[in-house]
């Protein structure tokens, strides 16, 4: 797609009568390119009620483009080595794209479907050549959930045991599903260096995790934490969200309870352990089943954080860290904002709002003031429930997902119904494969062993999938 864009730009540059409008018009003809100025939204109050196409050559719906088979794209081959120390200063090799675990809050999981694994042999080759070229002594196997990679144990073992690496190259798995993380993987990783371990149960109770479709049981989490502590780790990080749809105080307090149990597990192996629970405020995202739902106002998030902190105080070794609730409100405005938010952001900046992502500089009143000056309100963007038939500002941008699939998932969430990963079960017809003639590229026909996905995730959680049979031929 990049080469198609550069071709268009190249042809435009060769045209002596070129102007900006002709370039934008030509780019709109490249599949997957969105040119906002060719679309004019109409608003009534807080809602978008229409969208006018200003150029008949622009598509009514801009469809995403996606790589069908990562095996055809063994890149980057020459990762740059920075001259100064940077974050993530290591070799990065992408092991797969997409994730169909189906977490309902997760935009990445929804819009990057289906799962496309890189062949394990190609991963091994990219790691070996990358280390050779860069001199790094750490490699991150990246994806949305690296422990789900079919060949994960083999790939980790290949890197750690490669005689060319002299036992000096460590592996980090930045994104771990607790139900796919095993003692064997932990044991192999720690042979070189115990890289940080972060698990993301996201919800404090099983009920909450069914709502968000993060179908990992308490036992899955405890097994993963046990695997880590038993292999020498003394610190694990857990990620949670608060302010989720249908959340009750007991779900928030469940985070402290899970943290306490994890500390107890760690103490079976070490005298001092730290379990750090990071808590972020839920922000609904476009193209997800929760795109219609409201988020908690800062005051409510703060109340829940206080509740949690007080509960966690009783457990030595359990640390609670949290994201500033006011920042969550600003993120909510940006997450589901419409075209009018551009002017709001400019006002924030003109009124001195620089470095707003730094907590010491962040100032919510700048956002509130700018919204008010534009005749808008923060509540309309953050705490307002959207109607299911309301036009959404991103309806003309498609990741292939059928709206009725997203609505069905939203209803299932409210009813606390979980659905299994379509990588290993029948298709739910979300549209991500069928709309683009794609399919999963997964080496393993079954879920990774070691957790509830591999050992009976609880089929009773799923909803019925209708199947129709028809006779063909004789
Ligand atoms: S189309 Fe079916 S198999 Fe493909 S991602 Fe959607 S539910 Fe899964």
For residue 454, the model assigns a pLDDT of 42
Instruction: Please say if the pLDDT value at position 469 is more than 80.
Output: no
Minimal-distance CA residue to ligand 1 atom 2: 427
Minimal-distance CA residue to ligand 1 atom 3: 427
Tell me the average pLDDT across 360-373.
Answer: 95
**How would you classify the pairing of strands 138-142 and 170-172?**
parallel
Around ligand 1, the residues with Cβ closer than 6 Å are 100, 113-114, 422, 427-430, 432-434
Q: For 341-417, list the strands marked E by DSSP.
A: 397-398
For residue 471, the model assigns a pLDDT of 54
Q: Which two tokens stand for residue 230?
A: 């038993």
Beta pairing partners, 172: 140
What are the domain boundaries of the chain? Answer: 2-63, 70-340+376-436
User: How many A from CA of 425 to the centre of ligand 1?
Assistant: 10
- Lowest mean pLDDT across 51-60, 185-194, 413-422: 185-194
Tell me the average pLDDT across 359-378.
Answer: 95
d(Cα 26, Cα 10) in Å, to the nearest integer? 11
For residue 463, the model assigns a pLDDT of 47
Query: For helices 120-134 and 152-161, what crossing angle results, to 10°?
Result: 30
User: How many A from CA of 82 to the centre of ligand 1?
Assistant: 39
Instruction: Please say if the pLDDT value at position 243 is more than 80.
Output: yes
Selected residue with higher pLDDT from 152 and 299: 299
Top-level class of domain 70-340+376-436:
alpha beta
Q: How far is CA 187 from CA 230, 339, 420, in A?
A: 9, 50, 29
Q: What is the mean pLDDT of the chain?
A: 89
Tell me the average pLDDT across 91-95.
Answer: 93
User: How many A from CA of 115 to the centre of ligand 1?
Assistant: 9
- Please check whether residue 274 is in contact with residue 317, taking contact to mean a CB–CB distance below 8 angstroms: yes
HSE-CB for 141 with a 13 A CA cutoff? 36
Which pLDDT tens digit goes with each residue over 385-406? 999 999 999 999 999 999 999 9
d(Cα 353, Cα 339) in Å, to the nearest integer? 20
Instruction: Please say if the pLDDT value at position 352 is more than 80.
Output: yes
Instruction: Please say if the pLDDT value at position 460 is more than 60.
Output: no
Minimal-distance CA residue to ligand 1 atom 5: 114
d(Cα 397, Cα 389) in Å, to the nearest integer? 17
Q: Which residues contact 112 (CB under 8 A, 6 or more apart)?
A: 66, 97, 98, 99, 144, 399
For residue 3, the model assigns a pLDDT of 93
Confidence of residue 163 (pLDDT cuts 50, 70, 90): confident
For residue 472, the model assigns a pLDDT of 47
Peptide bond between residue 203 and the one before it cis (omega within 30 degrees of 0): no
The H or E element that residue 222 is part of is helix 218-230
- Lowest mean pLDDT across 35-39, 107-111, 456-460, 465-469: 456-460
For residue 161, the model assigns a pLDDT of 86
User: How many A from CA of 428 to the centre of ligand 1?
Assistant: 6
Q: Which residues contact 456 (CB under 8 A, 6 or more apart)?
A: none
The H or E element that residue 103 is part of is none
User: How many A from CA of 386 to the centre of ligand 1?
Assistant: 26
Sequence-distant contacts of 215-219: CB under 8 A, at least 24 apart:
215/101, 215/418, 215/420, 215/452, 215/453, 215/457, 215/458, 215/461, 216/177, 216/178, 216/179, 216/451, 216/452, 217/179, 217/451, 217/452, 217/458, 218/258, 218/261, 219/452
Tell me the average pLDDT across 266-290.
Answer: 96
Peptide bond between residue 114 and the one before it cis (omega within 30 degrees of 0): yes
- Classify residue 293 by its DSSP letter: S
Residue in 422, 438, 439, 462 to alter for ligand 1 test, most ligand atoms within 8 A of Cβ: 422
For residue 473, the model assigns a pLDDT of 46
Beta pairing partners, 179: none
The H or E element that residue 241 is part of is strand 235-242
Q: What angle do CA 267, 273, 278 make, to 5 degrees?
A: 120
> Among positive and negative, which fits the CA dihedral 91, 95, 101, 105?
positive
Longest dimension (CA), the chain: 75
d(Cα 455, Cα 211) in Å, to the nearest integer? 21
Query: For helices 325-335 and 298-312, what crossing angle results, to 10°?
Result: 140
For residue 77, the model assigns a pLDDT of 87
Q: What is the interface pTM, i.e. ipTM, of the complex?
A: 0.91
Selected residue with higher pLDDT from 59 and 456: 59
* Per-residue buried b or exposed e for 167-181, using 16+ beta carbons within 10 Å of the residue's own CB: eebbbbbbbbbbbbb
The ligand 1 atom at the shortest distance from the C-alpha of residue 434 is 1
Minimal-distance CA residue to ligand 1 atom 8: 422
User: How many A from CA of 422 to the centre of ligand 1?
Assistant: 6
Instruction: Please say if the pLDDT value at position 180 is more than 80.
Output: no
The DSSP code sequence of 162-216 is -GGGTT--EEE-SSB-GGG--HHHHHHHHTT-----EEEEESSSHHHHHHHT---
The radius of gyration computed from the CA coordinates of the chain, to the nearest angstrom, equals: 24
For residue 119, the model assigns a pLDDT of 92
For residue 433, the model assigns a pLDDT of 92
């Amino acid at each position: 797609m990049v080469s198609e864009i550069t071709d268009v730009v190249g042809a435009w540059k060769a045209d002596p009568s070129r102007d900006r409008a002709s370039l934008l018009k030509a780019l709109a003809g490249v599949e997957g390119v969105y040119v906002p100025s060719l679309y004019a939204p109409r608003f009534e109050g807080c809602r978008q009620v229409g969208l006018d196409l200003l150029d008949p050559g622009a598509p009514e719906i801009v469809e995403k483009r996606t790589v069908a088979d990562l095996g055809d794209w063994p890149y980057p081959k020459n990762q740059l080595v920075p001259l100064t120390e940077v974050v993530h200063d290591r070799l990065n090799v992408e092991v797969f794209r997409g994730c169909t675990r189906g977490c309902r809050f997760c935009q990445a999981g929804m819009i990057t479907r289906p799962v496309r694994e890189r062949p394990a042999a190609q991963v091994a080759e990219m790691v070996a050549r990358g280390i050779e070229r860069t001199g790094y002594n750490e490699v991150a196997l990246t994806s949305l959930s690296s422990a789900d990679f079919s060949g994960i144990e083999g790939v980790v073992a290949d890197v750690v045991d490669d005689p060319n690496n002299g036992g000096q190259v460590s592996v980090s798995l930045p994104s771990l599903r607790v139900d796919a993380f095993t003692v064997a993987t932990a044991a192999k990783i720690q042979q070189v260096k115990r890289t940080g371990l972060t698990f993301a149960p996201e919800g404090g109770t099983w009920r909450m995790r069914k709502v968000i479709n993060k179908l990992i049981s308490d036992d899955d989490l405890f097994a993963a934490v046990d695997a880590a502590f038993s292999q020498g780790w003394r610190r694990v990080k857990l990620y949670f969200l608060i302010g989720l749809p249908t959340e009750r105080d007991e779900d928030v307090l469940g985070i402290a309870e899970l943290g306490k149990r994890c500390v107890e597990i760690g103490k079976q192996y070490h005298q001092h352990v730290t379990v750090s629970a990071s808590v972020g405020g839920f922000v609904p995202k476009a193209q997800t089943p929760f795109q219609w739902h409201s988020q908690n106002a800062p005051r409510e998030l703060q109340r829940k954080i206080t509740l949690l902190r007080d509960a966690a105080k009783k457990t030595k070794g359990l640390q609670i860290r949290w994201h500033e609730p006011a920042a969550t409100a600003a993120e909510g405005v940006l997450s589901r904002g419409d075209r009018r938010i551009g002017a709001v952001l400019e006002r924030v900046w003109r009124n001195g709002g620089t470095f707003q992502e730094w907590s010491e500089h962040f100032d919510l009143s700048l956002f509130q003031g700018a919204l008010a000056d534009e005749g808008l309100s923060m509540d309309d963007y953050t705490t307002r429930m959207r109607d299911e038939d309301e036009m959404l500002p991103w309806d003309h941008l498609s990741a292939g997902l059928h709206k009725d699939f997203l609505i069905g998932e939203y209803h299932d969430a409210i009813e606390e119904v979980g659905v299994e990963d379509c990588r290993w079960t029948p298709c739910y017809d979300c549209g991500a494969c069928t709309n683009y003639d794609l399919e999963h590229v997964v080496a393993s026909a079954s879920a990774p062993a070691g957790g509830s996905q591999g050992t009976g995730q609880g089929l009773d959680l799923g909803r019925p999938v209708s199947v129709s049979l028809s006779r063909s031929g004789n």
